[in-house]
Structure 1
Amino acid sequence: MITAHQNGRSVSVLLAARRINPLSRLFQRELAALLDKLETQRPQLTAVLIGFDADTADRNHELEHLMALTPVQAPDCMHMLAAYHALLRRLEHLGLPVTATLSGDLCGHAFGLALACHRRIALHHARISLPQVLHGLAPSGGAIVRSVRLAGLQAAMPLLLDGATLSAAQALQAGLLDAVVADEAELNHAVLNKPTLTQRWQARDYQLPGGALDSAEIRALLQVAPARLRAAHGTPAAQAVLCAMVEGLQVDVDQALVIESRYFCQTAINQAPRKGSFSL
Structure 2
Amino acid sequence: MNYENIYIEEDDQIGIITINRPKKLNALNRRTIEELHVAFKELEDDKEIKVIILTGSGEKAFVAGADISEFADFSVKEAQKLAAEGQEKLFNMVENLSTPVIAAVNGFALGGGLELAMACHFRVASTNAKMGLPEVSLGVIPGYGGTQRLPQLIGKGRAMELIMTAGMIDGGKAVEYGLVNHVVSPEELLPLCIKIASRISNNSVVAIKYAIKAVNAGFMYDADGYAAEIEAFGTCFGTDDFKEGTSAFLEKRKADFPGS
Distance change (3 Å), C-alpha of 1:159 and 1:53? farther
Structure number, greater radius of gyration: 2
Corresponding residue SS for 1:125: coil
Q: 1:53 aligns with which of 51, 57, 68?
A: 57
Partner of 2:36: 31
1:95 aligns with 2:95: no
Cα offset, 1:203, TM superposition: 7.3
Corresponding residue SS for 2:86: helix
Q: 1:159 aligns with which of 158, 162, 166?
A: 162
Distance change (3 Å), C-alpha of 1:60 and 1:111? closer
Partner of 1:5: 9
Q: Percent identity over the alignment?
A: 22
Distance change (3 Å), C-alpha of 1:65 and 1:169? farther
Please tell me the residue identity of whatever aligns with 1:40. Answer: D
TM-score between the two structures when normalised by the length of structure 2? 0.67
After TM superposition, the structure 1 = structure 2 runs for residues 227-246 of structure 1, keeping only pairs within 5 Å, are none
Partner of 2:18: 14
Distance change (3 Å), C-alpha of 1:20 and 1:156? same
Partner of 2:191: 188
Q: 2:216 aligns with which of 202, 207, 225?
A: 202
Give the whole-Å Cα distance in 2 for the aligned partners of 1:174 and 1:64. 32
Please tell me the residue identity of whatever aligns with 1:119. Answer: F
Please tell me the residue identity of whatever aligns with 2:183. Answer: V
Distance change (3 Å), C-alpha of 1:186 and 1:113? closer
Give the whole-Å Cα distance in 2 for the aligned partners of 1:129 and 1:117. 16
Cα offset, 1:171, TM superposition: 1.3
Q: For this pair of structures, how many residues does the alignment match?
A: 202
Give the whole-Å Cα distance in 2 for the aligned partners of 1:45 and 1:61. 28
Corresponding residue SS for 2:26: helix
Corresponding residue SS for 2:148: helix
Cα offset, 1:81, TM superposition: 2.1
Verify the 8 A CA contact 2:53 2:193 in the aligned structure 1: no
Give the whole-Å Cα distance in 2 for the aligned partners of 1:27 and 1:105. 17
Corresponding residue SS for 1:64: helix
Partner of 2:88: 86
> Which stretches in structure 1 are left out of the alignment for 5+ residues?
207-248, 254-280
Distance change (3 Å), C-alpha of 1:3 and 1:190? closer
> Which stretches in structure 2 are left out of the alignment for 5+ residues?
201-207, 224-260
Tell me: higher relative CO, structure 1 or 2? Use CA pairs within 8 A at least 6 residues apart: 1
Q: Alignment RMSD, CA only?
A: 3.1
Give the whole-Å Cα distance in 1 for the aligned partners of 2:214 and 2:154. 10
Cα offset, 1:189, TM superposition: 3.0
Cα offset, 1:99, TM superposition: 0.3
Verify the 8 A CA contact 1:92 1:199 in the aligned structure 2: no
Give the whole-Å Cα distance in 1 for the aligned partners of 2:70 and 2:136. 13
TM-score between the two structures when normalised by the length of structure 1? 0.62
Please tell me the residue identity of whatever aligns with 2:26. Answer: R
Cα offset, 1:182, TM superposition: 3.1
Q: Deviations for 1:171-207, whole angstroms, at most 9, x for unmatched residues? A: 1112211111235336523553364763996376x8x
Please tell me the residue identity of whatever aligns with 2:164. Answer: L
